[in-house]
Chain A
Amino acid sequence: MKQPAINTFRPRMRVLNEEQAWAIHHAALEILENTGFIMEHEPTRRMLLEAGCRTDQEDRVLMPARLADAALKSAPRQIALYDQQGRRAMSLVDDNFYFGTGSDTIFTIDLETGERRRTVLQDSGNFAKLVDGLENIDFSMSMGNPEDAPIEEIYVHVFAAMVQNGNKPICFIADSGKDIAKIHEIACLVAGGEDALARRPFILNYSEAISPLRFPINVMEKLVFCARKRIPICLPSGCNAGGGGPSTLAGAMALGLAENLVGLTIHQLTNAGAPFLFAPNVSVLDMRHTVVSYGCTEWSLTQAALADMRDMIYKLPVWSFAGATDAKTVDAQAGAEGMLSIITAMLSRCNFIHDVGYIESGHTSSLEMVTLADELVAMSRYFVDGLRVDEDTLALDVIDRVARNVGKGAIFLNDEHTFKHFKTDLFHPKLADRSRFELWHENGAKEMQQRCTEKARKILVQHQVTPKSEAVLKGIEAILAHKTYQRI
């Protein structure tokens, strides 16, 4: 009888047990019931009180655990994101992972001069184009707050730049209910109408509550807007250990989760079943330099823990980070920190993984870092695919054939089995250099950063982005110029 195939174990990581996970969750619920939060958005405050929250003598809103539980039940377990041409691009659920860039950096590393300078609108376009051309990067974020865009509509302009230069899904930032409506308008134009966008969203909003436990008006406007329009949103706070939260990771996570549960509850009370991406950002505030670290080992640990809590408790896809660094250039530190966060994010099955390409603790964006991370993601991806064991891969006939004929000059390299398998069964790096010293030297003795620069330049010059229609492009120009345009 034919025996069942040997299943492939896909390596994965756990950092919490059930006891730890539930203890952190219960701490989060206790924070909501006992400490409560400041809600500055009056309509939302009323909605929460009607739903069963109460206020204490300091006017803080206290939330019963049952409201959070109900929200966790009504939010969808899976979020589907589409590309800008309406094709399914991501299924944010369970073990699936996707990588993308970050937003809001002030500086970027100029690809031609290597200089660190203020970002301009063109940079956001370039990052979107690079993402479009890289195989292992799945979504775009603006990667800059450009100095040449009008500051009151800066997020609308970077969104337009991304749409004009790429077709992958976009995670966007907005300031308030005002600019988010404009961004939504552009997105509707691209998707072919509001219904089409709601059915096949290519956008996901990133907004932040303010730690500890403060919910400002502009943030609530965005949350409510997205809930009503069924645009996927995440609302992680910056409860970094020692900064927005206590310096101990468990407490910082509990605080972040409490804040996240407030967001989720408001979101589900506004429109039950609307898509919400869960989990806070729990990095650390560096105790020497007071910067929030983007290369620290702690953030990788907390997000792995949050992924564990997703599996054990929340059952909602999670927001996370990777492929970033505190280094000022794409150097050895950048490679090491980038890889640590990428491989652990993947091993713990974080879902929506952003900030790829951040250097200098998120103050600076780097096209080279994104390019490097693309390869690190590919390496990690190979690793988590696991090791296939079957008759074909055990290759006993091949071993027998070659071993018996070594005297006649047989080598595995020349065997049919090798020819059939080597390309798909082995990982072939594109940027990592494995050449012999002589060849490496002959080719200019280039280091990794230089190879990343060259690859990024090549993509920006050669990659063809499928262009948007003339009508869409004209519509975007009109929206940016505050003129009326032909709706599609």
Chain B
Amino acid sequence: MSTQEIYNAILAFDEVSVKAKVRAELGAGTDIQTILDDGLVRAMDIVGERFSAGDLFIPEMLKSAQVMKAGLELIKPLLTTDQSRSKGTVVIGTVKGDQHDIGKNLVAMMLEGAGFKIVDLGVDVESEVFVKTAAEQKADVIALSSLLTTTMPAMEQTIRITKAANLAVKTIVGGAPVSQAFAHQIEADGYSADAPGTVKLVKELVG
């Protein structure tokens, strides 16, 4: 049962080993879905659990996602369209007037690690750009980030014009000045206090 070894290698944050084990499994003719489910995905599930329990830190979570991705790259060409479909598309950015992006980048990275397609618009993004991109990409979620209290109105404005555009897209907000109450007030579909919480939130909204 060496999909277990793939799983172990991810939990040991060992990229070289993950690649070697995936190659070995492919060579041995193991079913692709088994490698995916019992090796890669199962490991990421446990990583999430350990993080929530406080046993893993953010850099370890990011590292495991990176290691998992390295293994995934090897089997990607072999996946069927159905198997390789992303869990959903998220358009993300820091709203107009705000240049801060560490939080936004962290959320993007973790969503990507969780299997979502990310369209990162960067910082200081005009409301119209969020809406236009979401329409073009048939996005499932627009994720708005802000650090400065002064840019909170830009969030409200973006959500307003998103709703006006009548797209089948959910909007979520996050960042230091934002709260659940504020999210309600501006009629966002979701709010999370931190990056791991955002992954959970997006899964709920899209799933």
Contacts and interface: CB of A to CB of B under 8 A. Distances in A.
B194 interface: yes
A409 B59 contact: no
Interface in B17-75: 57-60, 62-63, 66
B193 interface: yes
Nearest to B62: A414
Nearest to A412: B102
B101 A419 contact: no
Contacts of A418: 59
Given A414-B59, A414-B66, A418-B59, A409 B194 contact: no
Contacts of A406: 101, 105
A427 to B, nearest CB: 13
A352 to B, nearest CB: 34
A423 B62 contact: no
A422 interface: yes
A4 interface: no
Nearest to B112: A409
Contact of A437 (B59, B66, B120, B193): B193
Given A414-B66, A419-B13, A422-B59, A409 B193 contact: no
Nearest to A430: B54
A413 B193 contact: no
Contacts of A428: 57
A323 B62 CA distance: 38
B91 interface: no
Contact of B108 (A409, A422, A437): A409
A411 B106 contact: yes
A406 B66 CA distance: 18
Nearest to B108: A409
A210 to B, nearest CB: 51
A411 B13 contact: no
A335 B26 CA distance: 57
Given A436-B194, A437-B193, A411 B60 contact: no
Interface in B99-113: 101-102, 105-106, 108-109
Given A410-B105, A413-B106, A439-B193, A419 B122 contact: no
A411 B59 contact: no
A383 B23 CA distance: 46
Contacts of B101: 406
Contacts of A410: 105
A444 interface: no
Interface string B118-129: 001010000000
A423 B58 CA distance: 11
- Chain B at the A interface: SS class: helix
Given A422-B59, A438-B193, A407 B13 contact: no
A413 B58 CA distance: 7
A407 B194 CA distance: 22
B193 A411 contact: no
Contacts of B106: 411, 413-414
Given A410-B105, A411-B106, A411-B109, A419 B120 contact: no
A407 B122 contact: yes
A422 to B, nearest CB: 5
A413 B122 contact: no
A417 to B, nearest CB: 10
B193 A414 contact: no
B113 to A, nearest CB: 10
A465 B147 CA distance: 49
B194 A419 contact: no
Nearest to A418: B59
Contacts of B108: 409
Contacts of B66: 414
B120 A409 contact: yes
Nearest to A411: B105
Given A409-B120, A413-B58, A437-B193, A419 B105 contact: no
A409 B57 contact: no
Interface in A391-413: 406-407, 409-411, 413
Nearest to A420: B59
Contacts of A439: 193-194
B57 A422 contact: yes
A439 B58 CA distance: 16
A419 B59 contact: yes
B13 A414 contact: no
Interface in A428-457: 428, 436-439
Contacts of A414: 59, 62-63, 66, 106, 109
Given A422-B57, A423-B57, A436-B194, A409 B63 contact: no
A315 to B, nearest CB: 44
A406 B58 CA distance: 18
Nearest to B118: A409
Interface in B71-103: 101-102
Nearest to B194: A436
Contacts of A422: 57, 59
Contacts of B58: 413
Contacts of A438: 180, 193, 197
Contacts of B62: 413-414, 419
Contacts of B122: 407
Given A419-B13, A436-B194, A438-B193, A413 B120 contact: no
Nearest to A408: B120
A409 B109 contact: yes
B70 to A, nearest CB: 13
Nearest to A438: B193
A414 B102 CA distance: 11
Given A410-B105, A419-B63, 9 more contacts: A406-B105, A413-B58, A414-B63, A418-B59, A419-B13, A419-B59, A419-B60, A419-B62, A439-B193
14 contacts: A406-B101, A407-B122, A411-B105, A411-B109, A413-B58, A413-B59, A413-B62, A414-B106, A414-B109, A428-B57, A436-B193, A436-B194, A437-B193, A439-B194
The 4 lowest CB-CB distance pairs between A and B, nearest first, are A436-B193, A438-B193, A411-B105, A414-B62
